[in-house]
Structure 1
Amino acid sequence: MKLPDLLIEDLDVVFCGTAAGDKSAELKAYYAGPGNQFYSIINSVGFTPIKLLPSQFPDLLNYRIGLTDIAKFAQGVDAKLKSSDFDVMGFKEKIIKYQPKYVCFNGKEAARVFYSLKQTKNIKYGIQTDIIKKTKLFVAPSTSGSARGYWDENVWKELFELLKNRKVHKS
C-alpha cells in the first residue's frame, strides 16, 4: 500500500484521488507533490482553519475529513496507471463501511475510473446523481499542479457550502 487510508466512520467528506503521486509515495504523505494545491484550497474555502502541510495529513480527521485513492498499490501520474491498478469494488466497500456524508473525487480522472468510463468528457463538476448507500458523490477539479488548466476554485467552494448547509439543517 502506497499510502494508508485516512478513514473513520461518519466523516463529513472523503477526498479520493486516483493514486499517490511519486512525491507523495516517496514522502508517505497525501498531495505532497510540488505545485499540488490540495491543502491550500481546503484551507482557503473553509474546510480547515489553517493550511496544513502534507506531512500533517492525519490531522485532517480533526476536521472530519478523510483521504483515500482508488489505486492503493500503484503510484505515479494518471497516464501511467493501468486499469488493473484500480480497485473500485474495494473503494466502494470502504465507503459503505465508513459512510461519510460525501465523497469528493479530486479530479475527473478518479471519477472516470469509478464510473468505468473511457473518457472524462461527460463527467461534470459538482454534485452527482449517484450515491453509495447514503454517501453523496461530488467531482472537483484536480488539485494537481499538472491540472492547473482545469482549475476552478468555485467548485471547491460549492462542496464546502453543501457541507456547511447540511450541518445548519441538521441542528
Structure 2
Amino acid sequence: MSNIIHRLPDQLRPNLRLVFVGTAASTRSAELGHYYAHPGNRFWRAIHESGITPRRYQPGEFAELIALGIGFTDLSKSGAGMDHQIEAASIDVPGFKAKIEKYRPRTIAFTSKKAASLFYGKPSAAIALGRQVRDGSLPEIFVLPSPSGAASGHWTIEPWRELGAWIGRAP
C-alpha cells in the first residue's frame, strides 16, 4: 500500500434517518473516492433489496443518498484496506462519537462486526448481528454482516432486511 493518505469524505448532516459506518475505506473505494466501490461488494444491492433505497444506486452516486436521509462515515478516516489491514492507531472512536453527538442521526448501522467491536470495545465474537439493545444516550444501532466479497462466508441479508423494516417504520 502506498503512503498516500486515503480519505473518503464524510457524508453527514444533522438528523439523518440513517448513517452507515464502516471500519475504513477499502483500497478500491479510497482510490475512486466512492463508498463500497469494489465490484464484489454487496452493499448497494443489499440496501436496495432490503427496501432502504427505492432503486439500486451505483457507488459513484453515494452523495445522492443524503437526499434520502442516508449518510456515510468510517471509524478510520486515514486508513484504507481490508479490516485486518487497518492500523489500530488510525481508528478514531472518540472522533466518531463526536460526529454522532454533533449530527444526531436517528439510526446508525455498522457495516461489519469489526466496526461494531471497535465502537463497543468488545471482541467481534461478542457482537450480535441486527438491532442492538438500546442505550438511551445513542441513536438506534444495527450491526450488519460485512457486504465485502472477502466476507462471503458470513453473509446473510436478514439483518439488512431488519434494518430496512426499521427504517421504513421509523418516524
TM over 0.5: yes
C-alpha contact 1:96 1:133 (8 A) present in aligned 2: no
CA distance in structure 2 between the aligned counterparts of 1:111 and 1:132, rounded to whole angstroms: 17
Deviation at 1:34, TM superposition (A): 2.4
Aligned to 1:101: 106
Separation in 2, partners of 1:71, 1:142: 16
Cα 1:7/1:131, change in 2 over 3 Å: farther
Q: What 5-or-longer segments of structure 2 have no aligned partner?
A: 1-5
Which of residues 127, 131, 149 in structure 2 aligns to 1:127? 131
Taking structure 2 as the reference length, what is the TM-score of the superposition?
Answer: 0.93
Equivalent-residue separation in structure 2 for 1:88 and 1:107 (angstroms): 15
Count residues with an aligned counterpart.
166
Residue in structure 2 matching 1:20, options 15, 25, 38 = 25
**Quick one: which of 39, 64, 67 aligns to 2:72?**
67
Query: Are residues 132 and 69 of structure 1, via their aligned partners in 2, closer, same or farther at CA, if it must alter by over 3 Å?
Result: farther
- Cα distance between partner residues in 1 of 2:78 and 2:115: 15
Counterpart mapping for 1:11-160 below 5 A: 11-117=16-122, 119-131=123-135, 133-160=137-164
Query: Contact between 1:39 and 1:54, CA under 8 Å: does it hold in 2?
Result: yes
Q: 1-side partners of 2:138 and 2:154: how far apart?
A: 29
Question: Which whole-Å CA distance do the structure 1 matches of 2:138 and 2:120 have between them?
Answer: 17
TM-score if structure 1 supplies the norm length?
0.93
CA separation of 1:131 and 1:5: change in aligned 2, threshold 3 A: farther
Native 8 Å contact 2:51 2:165 kept in 1: no
Identity percentage of aligned residues? 40
* Over 6 Å off, 4+ runs: none
The amino acid across from 1:164 in the alignment is: G
Root mean square deviation, CA, Å: 1.3
- Structure in which a larger fraction of residues adopt strand: 1
